[in-house]
Amino acid sequence: MTLKKALSHARGILAEHDIEDAPLEAELLLRHALKIDRTQLYLDLDRELSPQPEEIFWQLVERRLGGEPTAYITGRREFYGLDFYVDPHTLIPRPESELLMETALKLDKDHPLSTIADIGTGCGAIAISLALELPGVKIYATDISAAALEVASINCQKHGVADRVHLLQGDMLEPLPELVDLIIANLPYVRQAELAPTSFEPLIALDGGADGTESIAKLCRQAQSKLSARGNLLLEIGQGQGVVVTTLLHGLFPNGEIEVVPDLGSIERMVSLNLSKDKVAG
């Protein structure tokens, strides 16, 4: 069987099992089995797939059919054009979280930032991407999970930013040693009733409580004592959570400018807070 035939067959099987992006996932699994990049794969499409790599490839396909995410199978996920190591201790970075990145970079362009805190950093994708884009900014990255921070540390070393991304273990903002100009967070926001019972991703990174906003609300309250006077807060949210989160922020920061921003699918995806001089109620 040629690589081309194996790829086509795997795409069909994955599609039959309602795997989203079946063509891409089949390609990623085949490349992982062969340990080659995309260019090499497409240069070699007509060569025969030897027995051992073929066996490995179909084992990977079986794992995917069993529900295991491709990112965990391969140990890799792309975010903001960068390659990150991931494992089951961390949430898999999603493309929609790039909205946080784009907004943060725009904020820095309008009013240069000196300190940023990425809360619930997981594999470190957001913090590291920001460090590479904003080399003059001090970046803190916190997570309550020591295992997640180990993954983030690997990625910091991989991308050469270990000296500028300060990894801190603790509950959200509590470990921060100073006020910051920007807090950016993709916290758990899945409602408990909607959690998949067989999810391979860590529950702690998904479970947002009864209405999905428990962790977000806790962070908003902590932000009162951790944001600089002209600070900003960027929060990724779930569908339908905009009103709850903005109402909370209006109560905590009555002089702040608050906006709900949709993603490319027109789904509420991010809440932004920009502070005026009087940042805290009372």
pLDDT tens profile 167-182: 999 999 999 999 999 9
Say whether pLDDT at 69 is over 60. Answer: yes
Domain residues for 32?
3-74
Rounded Cα–Cα distance for residues 220 and 167 (Å): 21
Residue 282 placed within a domain: no
Give how many domains the chain has, as a whole number: 2
CA angle at residue 80 from 259 to 173, to 5 degrees? 55
Residue 190 is given by DSSP the state B
Report the predicted TM-score, pTM, of the whole model to 2 decimal places: 0.91
206 and 140 share one domain: yes
Phi, psi of 260 (to 5 degrees): -100, 125
Going by pLDDT thresholds of 50, 70 and 90, the confidence category of residue 281 is very low
Residue 84 placed within a domain: no
138 and 175 share one domain: yes
Comparison of pLDDT for 242 and 202, the residue scoring more: 242
106 and 236 share one domain: yes
With both helix axes pointing from N to C terminus, report the angle between 3-16 and 22-34 in degrees, rounded to the nearest 10: 140
Say whether pLDDT at 278 is over 90. Answer: no
107 and 171 share one domain: yes
8 Å CB contact between 189 and 208: yes
Residue 25 placed within a domain: yes
Residue range 237-258: average pLDDT? 94
Burial 253-278 (b: 16+ CB within 10 A, else e): beebebebbebeeeebbbbbbbbeee
Q: What is the pLDDT of residue 196?
A: 77
Q: What is the pLDDT of residue 190?
A: 80
Comparison of pLDDT for 79 and 263, the residue scoring more: 79
Q: What is the pLDDT of residue 276?
A: 59
Q: What is the CATH number of the domain that holds 27?
A: 1.10.8.10
244 and 210 share one domain: yes
Residue 261 placed within a domain: yes
Say whether pLDDT at 183 is over 70. Answer: yes
Q: What is the pLDDT of residue 86?
A: 97
Q: What is the CATH number of the domain that holds 139?
A: 3.40.50.150
The structure tokens 């702040």 sit at 256
269 and 172 share one domain: yes
Going by pLDDT thresholds of 50, 70 and 90, the confidence category of residue 280 is very low
47 and 103 share one domain: no
112 and 185 share one domain: yes
Residue ending a domain, among 19, 42, 74, is 74
Going by pLDDT thresholds of 50, 70 and 90, the confidence category of residue 282 is very low
Of 39-53, 74-88, 185-199, give the lowest mean pLDDT range: 185-199
Give the length of the chain: 282
Residue 158 placed within a domain: yes
107 and 235 share one domain: yes
Residue range 142-164: average pLDDT? 97
102 and 196 share one domain: yes
125 and 43 share one domain: no
Residue 82 placed within a domain: no
Residue 32 placed within a domain: yes
Residue 262 placed within a domain: yes
106 and 240 share one domain: yes
